[in-house]
Amino acid sequence: MPTATPIPGKTLLSPGNHTLIMIDHQSQMAFATKSIDPVSLRNNAALVAKAAAGFKVSTILTTVAEKTFSGPIFSEIKDAFPGAEIVDRTTMNTWEDERIAPLVNAHGKSKIVLAGLWTSVCIVGPALSALDQGFEVYVIADACGDVSDEAHERAMDRMVQAGARPMTSLQYLLELQRDWARGDTYDMTTGIAKVHGGGYGLGIIYAKTMFGASEGH
């Protein structure tokens, strides 16, 4: 008979137990993305980037053929990490770029969280590669996109079948906060949610404006 204890599960994400890799959130890649509209995609990518930056998550930013074909990384991501190195690759599979492994190893995290374009190529590649090398892999599905719903969904299926764990951008933010009594990150978390959390963010604005509500009390 198991015994319940107030300890979080080992598969939950916390700010210090994973490395986030944001891959190919670039103009040319977004033009052909049809599984999610570009407004939602940029909003979700911004939510993830701001959450990771605010919680000081180990983060790797990477692009493909930035200057010759695909264009710059979304400004929402670049602004969240001012001055951060952005690794520009030729490989479609981020994991095969020789500069990425040393960065992953330097961060020393066993959990890898992925988000980017396109799901069936640039996310499947590193996801399956990292799983094969013993990492736990999470994919932020709504901060990814592909050329069709079918392409995105089959890519998600393939990764989940191999052991990856799917999640959403808002889930990522709230899993990092986890407890509303954590006052040092409370305003940051609700601030990100107000801007990028859709209806949930509107609810926060309403509750705080109308009657000064706070989740932590």
CB-based contact 126:23 (threshold 8 Å): yes
Of these residues, 49, 117, 122, 130, which one is catalytic? 122
How far apart (Å, rounded) are the C-alpha atoms in residues 127 and 78? 23
SS (H, E, C) the chain: CCCCCCCCCCCCCCCCCEEEEEECCEHHHHHCCCCCCHHHHHHHHHHHHHHHHHCCCEEEEEEECHHHHHCCECHHHHHHCCCCCEEEECCCCHHHCCCHHHHHHHHCCCEEEEEEECHHHHHHHHHHHHHHCCCEEEEEHHHCECCCHHHHHHHHHHHHHHCCEEECHHHHHHHHHCCCCCHHHHHHHHHHHHHHCHHHHHHHHHHHHHHCCCCCC
Concerning whether 122 is annotated as a catalytic residue, the answer is yes
How far apart (Å, rounded) are the C-alpha atoms in residues 112 and 122? 14
**Catalytic positions:** 122
